[in-house]
């Protein structure tokens, strides 16, 4: 199998015609191929320098978080949003049909109380459904242009996540940057998309709509920060960083997405829970040359 997205997407679609046992076997085989190819690509790129993507600020006169419709998503709008404003809000990245597909997976309990599917952060069935959806909505095309390379997916950080009020009501992660989790700056892209409403009746993300290339709250003697990002920015540091820009509290409807990178300062919001649960999809995409020194790269 060639190391490119078209072959993988074709293989994913072909699996839909298989019976469950054959499908599970095909998923395992394809995942092994993607893992081997991803590791090989990262090893070939180990000495390459990660270069900041070229960008023009298409949202120069925009106050706060830039917002576009999915039909406007391309490498230029993606670069302008992330590299000049910290993030990009994309309305209706997932069409109604794609949202319905993901809601059905969530309702099935496919990834709730699941067995371990290492190295994936979700079940293989969910992962390949996500991959197909990223292709259909045009995200992968925009990422190829932005990264100037075929994206590599961080296996452990690609998932359909369920949040429950009874479990997650007070589980917010304070102001942080994901670079302190991944270990180095790499101009990656995270797609954080709502499958149920987020940010109004239920919590979402808060974002500082300002680009920063400095690592905040980092002590090199400690190594990679833990997943709980225990070292939060102080209110004084946050005020200095944001300047005259107000904190963005985006309200997302099903299908809306936030795209940002590892330098973006953000916070998992605390807020009221009108609904008992919510679902979001999360996937991190890297260049092979910028992939962290840990984790599993999956080639597309």
pLDDT of residue 215: 85
Beta-carbon-side half-sphere exposure of residue 234 (alpha carbons within 13 Å): 4
- Domains of the chain, residue spans: 5-299
Mean pLDDT by 10 residues, the chain (300 residues): 60 75 85 94 88 95 95 98 98 98 88 67 91 96 95 95 60 79 92 93 89 79 49 80 93 97 88 76 96 94
Q: Cβ of 226: how many Cβ atoms within 10 Å?
A: 11
pLDDT of residue 200: 84
Where do runs of H (alpha helix) occur along 20-95?
Answer: 20-44, 75-85
CATH architecture assignment, domain 5-299: Sandwich (2.60)
Cβ atoms of 120 and 158 within 8 Å: the answer is yes
Omega before 30 cis (within 30°)? no
Residue with tokens 């946050």: 238
281/153 Cα distance (integer angstroms) = 14
pLDDT of residue 146: 97
- pTM of the model as a whole: 0.91
Q: Please name the helix (run of DSSP H) or strand (run of DSSP E) that holds residue 49, with its range, or none.
A: none
pLDDT of residue 283: 97
């Amino acid at each position: 199998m060639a190391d490119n997205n078209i072959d993988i997407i074709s293989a994913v679609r072909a699996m839909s015609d298989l019976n469950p046992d054959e499908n599970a076997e095909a998923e395992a085989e394809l995942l092994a191929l993607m893992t081997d190819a991803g590791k090989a690509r990262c090893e070939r790129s180990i000495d390459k320098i990660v270069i900041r993507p070229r960008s023009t600020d298409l949202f120069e006169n925009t106050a706060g978080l830039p917002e576009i419709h999915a039909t406007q998503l391309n490498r230029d709008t993606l670069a302008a949003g992330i590299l000049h404003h910290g993030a990009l809000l994309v309305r209706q990245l997932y069409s109604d049909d794609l949202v319905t597909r993901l809601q059905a997976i969530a309702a099935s309990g496919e990834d709730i109380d699941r067995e371990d599917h290492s190295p994936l952060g979700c079940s293989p069935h969910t992962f390949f459904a996500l991959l197909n959806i990223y292709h259909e909505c045009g995200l992968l095309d925009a990422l190829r242009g932005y990264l100037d390379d075929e994206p590599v997916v961080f296996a452990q950080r690609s998932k359909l996540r369920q949040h429950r009020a009874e479990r997650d009501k007070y589980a917010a992660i304070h102001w942080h940057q994901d670079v302190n989790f991944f270990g180095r700056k790499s101009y990656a892209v995270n797609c954080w998309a709502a499958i149920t409403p987020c940010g109004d009746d239920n919590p979402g993300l808060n974002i500082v709509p300002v680009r920063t290339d400095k690592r905040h709250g980092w002590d090199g003697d400690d190594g990679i920060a833990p997943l709980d990002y225990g070292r939060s920015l102080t209110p004084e540091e946050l005020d200095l960083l944001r300047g005259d820009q107000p904190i963005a509290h985006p309200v997302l409807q099903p299908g809306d997405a936030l795209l940002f990178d590892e330098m973006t300062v953000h916070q998992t919001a605390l807020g009221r829970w009108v609904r008992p649960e919510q679902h979001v999809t999360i996937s991190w995409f890297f260049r092979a040359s910028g992939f962290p020194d840990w984790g599993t790269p999956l080639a597309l």
